[in-house]
Amino acid sequence: MAATPATNPSQLLPLELVDKCIGSRIHIVMKNDKEIVGTLLGFDDFVSILYTQTEITPEGRRITKLDQILLNGNNITMLIPGGEGPEV
């Protein structure tokens, strides 16, 4: 009987890694240099993301807090699981 290998994050497909982050904090960098930190609620095949308890930090480092936000996957540059975001 073969042992099942432990799940190594480096062996996951990108969408599998995002799926494992549902319910946890994630830091997102957008194409327009805005950075968003919040709890990931879900996503679709285009990596459009639904966030809750969101903080948006534009270039000027002003923080805007929103209850929920839906991000278009085409505008996302980078996803950082467990990221705390930039220092203000």
Q: 35: domain range?
A: 14-81
Is 74 within a domain? yes
Residue 5 belongs to some domain of the structure = no
Q: Would you say residue 88 lies in a domain?
A: no
Domain containing residue 21: CATH number: 2.30.30.100
Kindly report the number of other CB atoms within 10 A of residue 62's CB atom.
9
More confident residue, 8 or 28: 28
Q: Total domain count for the chain?
A: 1
Q: For residue range 17-39, list pLDDT tens digits in order.
A: 889 889 999 998 989 888 888 89
61 within domain boundaries: yes
Q: Within a domain: residue 69?
A: yes
Say yes or no to pLDDT of 75 above 80.
Answer: yes
> Does the pLDDT at position 66 exceed 60?
yes
**Residue 26 φ/ψ, nearest 5 degrees:** -145, 145
What average pLDDT score do residues 48-56 get?
82
